[in-house]
Amino acid sequence: MAEVQYRFRDDEPVADPGVTVDSFGAQSNAAAVRLEPGDDARALLPHLERLRLVEVNFPVFGDGRGYSSARILREAGYAGELRAVGQVLVDQIALMRRCGFDSFAPDQPLEPADAEAAFARWADVYQPTTDGRAPVWAKRHPGAVNA
């Protein structure tokens, strides 16, 4: 299994590898699950309290379903580790970070200088996500709320 190269959280990592969504439902003690692109992230929502690690697999970087899976989990309040695994490339990690991923275990390790530049690149963002960053419209209108 690929090494975790970046992890943006301080808690103790879960040692077990993620089980499939199907076996996760049956194994009442599993704390880690692995989502494939075709899996429904919402199937995990009844079990969020016992989940500590969700690995979202990107078998090919061009399959973008994992971005939606990540946001769905974070929007539902999932606070455990959300790990991008598979073909995780340096030019996509900033997008993944915005969708709620807080750890990265790429099949091919990323060039550290490029990865750090990518994480730091976008000072402003147009859209709010659950990552807590203020979108440009919030900076333009401090205090405004959507009616």
Partner 1 sequence: MYKYDQYDQAMVDTRVEEFRDQVRRRLEGHLPEEAFRPLRLMNGLYLQLHAYMLRVAVPYGTLNSAQMKVLGDIADKYDRGYGHFTTRQNIQYNWIKLEEAPDILADLARVEMHAFQTSGNCIRNTTSDQYAGAAADEVVDPRPYAELIRQWSTVHPEFNFLPRKFKMAVIASDTDRAAMRLHDIGIQIVKNEAGELGAAFYVGGGMGRTPMIAPCINAFVPIGQMITYSEACLRVYNRHGRRDNKYKARIKILIHELGKDEYTRQVEAEFAHLLTQNIEPPAEELERIKAFFADPPFETGITDELDRSDAAFARWADTNCLAHKQPGYIAVTISLKPVGGIPGDASADQIRLMGELARQYSFDELRVTHAQNIVLPHVRKADLYALWQILDANGLGTPNLDHIGDMIACPGLDYCSLANARSIPVAQKISERLAPREAEIGELKLKISGCINACGHHHAGHIGILGVDRKGVENYQLLLGGCEGADTSLGQITGPGFDEDGIVGAVEKATEVYLANKQGEERFLDTYRRIGMAPFKEALYG
Please identify which residue in 15, 46, 123, 132 interacts with partner 1, judged by CB under 8 A.
123
Cβ closest to partner 1, residue 26 vs residue 145: 145
Instruction: Give least dist CB 72 to partner 1, A.
Output: 8
DSSP readout, the chain? -PPP-EE---SPPP-SPPEEHHHHHH-TT--EEEE-TTS-GGGGGGGGGG--EEEEEESSTT-THHHHHHHHHHHTT--SEEEEEES--TTTHHHHHHTT--EEEESSPPPHHHHHHHHH--S--SS--TT-PPPHHHHHSTT----
Using CB under 8 A as the binding rule, whether residue 113 contacts partner 1 is answered as: no
Q: Show contacts with partner 1 in window 27-66 (CB under 8 A).
A: 37, 61-65
Instruction: Give least dist CB 16 to partner 1, A.
Output: 27
Residues that bind partner 1 (CB under 8 A): 37, 61-65, 67-68, 71, 75, 89, 91-92, 94-96, 98-99, 111, 114, 117, 121-130, 135-137, 139-141, 144-147
